[in-house]
Chains A and B, each alone.
Chain A
């Protein structure tokens, strides 16, 4: 039963029509990394990779997470297929967790794919990029952290996608750049704490774009721990919520 739920979700998320746009975004990252020196003269390969990664790859990760995570339940509700899932002898929490796991894997793959493309664009390969492994780890952590948050939001609110996108592109861009300790409230700050991208130097605009204008001093160890606890707490809350509240196909109730 578990393998059927997980397998179905993976097959659903990895459908060619769903994956192709993300591959296209990966190719976009490749070109941005390859021609980064047009935008920033004198940029090294490391600069090109880390800037493209921070500006594009992590936002693509958040976007992918918003789209795939809201599909876990909200899309089933919208499509009215939720009824087939909720009237089966499967505990709701198990259904939710298995589909969350599948979406986390897909979003991780998308994030890593984009990072790999960016690496190919900047380093003309993967082996010479010292930042790639740490980035991959941060992207996996980010996929599950964003996923847990967006999943809970999608269970609690009807128009979850709007909230998730505002968070991904508004909150996650603004908060890491704020002075003081506001960066604690941003998932991206912790992912940056894991990835440890090099500083943008004196370029204020670039620092703003990569979320490096704040006072982020998070270490990888702290970031891993906080993200783990954050994800577990939120996914636990989501499982509790989903088990205890009603989910009906969106239509006029008779």
Chain B
């Protein structure tokens, strides 16, 4: 559906996207990158708001810039949080349905359908100015689905949603993907993306860093020692037990004395072994965390790799 070939985009002296080549097809693809990675630039290129400075970008086989043939098959949920604030949610969505070329009657019925889909039917007669962040996100998603597009692009759609809202949102995207639609979701949170899809496109400082299955990227990451912090009431006993586990590279106690910092290889195997140790030896663990489970660490690993 989307084919980018050596696409670059400059903003004056600043490069937003640097020589990107990729293909995006049906299903959910996560566009992952830290702030400034070029996610929004890529989405704006695909939605035809921008032209590439160099390279070739095709959406449904056509150049997308101001191309109504592309827009007929494309839904876009932007990151910006701006609306016609004096409109009600229902009026806003219905107006955009008319812009999608639906007749007045079709626009009305389709508006009700998408509002129902995003769980906003009962609140859509309130003015948008009074909406919470989550309600705004739902309205944005609703307007992107109006014309039943083949591809939907969502720029940071989970921002501002509560956990239940996120779950519902992810379920909606899953259902759309099952219908054969291509969905591109940008995010800067790895954990968020993992709940949605295994297919990733990683951007870093305007360049494509990795693409493909999340598992492949995870295995690349897992080749590096992974930092894990374990909080326990009995750190010495825990250390003795953990030292016997496989894949431990290093171990040290925190200054506070109630937690242990570990470096491990293949963290998934380690987590399995850890849970067994807890069950078999009655080890009391108050909590554990991995500072490496954030995107910054992922990029660090991949850049080093």
Seen from chain A, the residues whose Cβ lies within 8 Å of a Cβ on chain B are: 1, 3-5, 8, 12, 15, 79-81, 83-92, 243-244, 246-249, 251, 253-254
Contacts and interface: CB of A to CB of B under 8 A. Distances in A.
Nearest to A2: B98
B71 A81 contact: no
A90 B68 contact: yes
A102 B18 CA distance: 42
29 contacts: A1-B98, A1-B101, A4-B99, A8-B95, A81-B83, A81-B84, A83-B76, A83-B78, A83-B80, A84-B96, A86-B49, A87-B74, A88-B99, A89-B68, A89-B72, A89-B100, A90-B68, A90-B99, A246-B51, A247-B49, A248-B49, A248-B50, A249-B82, A251-B80, A253-B11, A254-B16, A254-B37, A254-B38, A254-B41
Contacts of A15: 86
A92 B67 CA distance: 9
Nearest to B39: A254
Interface string B59-84: 00000001011011010101010111
B66 A243 contact: yes
Is chain A's interface secondary structure helix, strand, loop, or mixed overall?
loop
Q: What 8 pairs between A and B have smallest CB-CB spacing? A: A4-B98, A80-B82, A254-B40, A88-B99, A89-B68, A89-B71, A89-B72, A87-B76
Contacts of B68: 89-91
B40 A87 contact: no
Contacts of A254: 16, 35-41
B199 interface: no
Of A1, A5, A81, A87, most B-chain CB atoms within 10 Å: A87
Contacts of B137: none
Nearest to B206: A254
A249 B83 CA distance: 12
Contacts of A253: 11, 14, 16, 40-41
Contacts of A80: 80, 82
Contacts of B44: 248
B49 A246 contact: yes
B100 A88 contact: yes
Contacts of B107: 4
B36 to A, nearest CB: 6
A253 B50 CA distance: 11
Contacts of B71: 87-90
Of B66, B71, B74, most A-chain CB atoms within 10 Å: B66
B143 interface: yes
B48 interface: yes
B101 A89 contact: yes
B47 interface: yes
A74 to B, nearest CB: 15
B96 A88 contact: yes
Given A84-B78, A253-B11, 5 more contacts: A79-B82, A89-B69, A90-B68, A253-B41, A254-B39
